[in-house]
Structure 1
């Protein structure tokens, strides 16, 4: 496994219930500031294997990144069950729910 992938997995595992991180934020912390798309790929391929809390990762606008309605609704439901609220534009308050891990 590549060091970047290992670091992304470690970071995602640390996101606590009721908090979120963005793809870009995770990429920066893992050492690749322009690696947000790689984070998406890692989530897609490694979430089940490593039991990652994939639902806690959103885009930089506070939106769910999935295009299909089923996945959007599932992620939203999981986040709402953790106490995260969405506004009428289907966005969450990224400032309010952001997780900033210590180095």
Structure 2
């Protein structure tokens, strides 16, 4: 898989996350893991930061359920409007986590 194909796969997977659910950067990386070596949560985060504006970026959180850095308030509002359960300031990953 080329680097651009990996970017497209990440964005396609993020587009498929159902309303009311979330995935972590690590879960996305694991779901797309192959022999290319481009399966790190950090790489997914970089892709989302640079090219994720056209997909439901707010549905991608850290493994601990923290909102995307720099966009916490907007993400929180969007997730609450979709019915995503929160525990304090974090997403309740046990209830809202999704795997394809």
When normalised by structure 1's length, the TM-score is: 0.82
Corresponding position of 2:78: 78
Corresponding position of 2:40: 35
What is the distance in 2 between the residues matched to 1:34 and 1:3? 13
Name stretches of at least 5 consecutive residues in structure 1 with no aligned partner.
none
When normalised by structure 2's length, the TM-score is: 0.85
How many residue pairs match? The answer is: 95
What is the distance in 2 between the residues matched to 1:91 and 1:13? 21
Q: 2:64 is matched with which residue: 57, 61, 64? A: 61
Q: Would the aligned equivalents of 1:24 and 1:36 in 2 still touch at CA under 8 Å?
A: yes
Give the secondary structure class of the aligned counterpart of 2:19. Answer: coil
Name stretches of at least 5 consecutive residues in structure 2 with no aligned partner.
none
Larger proportion of strand? 2
Aligned residue runs from structure 1 range 1-103, under 5 A: 2-31=4-33, 34-48=39-53, 51-66=54-69, 68=70, 71-88=71-88, 90-101=89-100
Task: Provide the alpha-carbon RMSD of the alignment.
Answer: 1.7
